[in-house]
Amino acid sequence: MLILGIDPGTATTGYGLVLAEAGKTKAAAFGTIITLPRRSPELRLNEIYNQICELIDSHHPDIMALERLFFSKNETTAFAVGRTSGVVLLAAAQRHLPVVEYTPMEIKQAVVGYGGADKKQVQYMVQRILGLSETPKPDDAADALAVAICHAHSAKLKNL
């Protein structure tokens, strides 16, 4: 199963493709979609949408795993991330790609074994689980890989 993990953000959207087969997971590709702050919000969202479509069209993932929006204090950031999640969901829907969403706590629990893990612990485990020689950079790409790993682990449990 090829899983496209997404860590949505307006300035930087992380993506990670993880191949989960025969109980093993490995990174197929990862990176970020970066938009320029001086561009209008609609152009930034269009750029994210187009690049997500390109990722789906070129890699043909079986499923998309998306970090579910979860904020309690910063409404402006939550609104912007919500917009990004919307265009990501639209790209998946138009390509008939199933989507699952996970909260940050669920992702940390699946990757580290502790829902309160910090960013460094998650990055360390992503590197170890995927057998990478170094921690994936930037952080948004590592977070997207963590989302994909979370789904790989969750899918295994659901199949038991």
Output helix, strand, coil percentages for the chain, rounded to the nearest 5: 50, 20, 30
Mark whether 118 is an active-site residue: no
Name the catalytic one among 21, 106, 140, 143.
140
Name the catalytic one among 7, 47, 62, 139.
7
The helix (run of H) or strand (run of E) holding residue 128 is helix 119-130
Mark whether 140 is an active-site residue: yes
Name the catalytic one among 62, 67, 106, 134.
67
The helix (run of H) or strand (run of E) holding residue 119 is helix 119-130
Mark whether 67 is an active-site residue: yes
- Residues classed as catalytic: 7, 67, 140
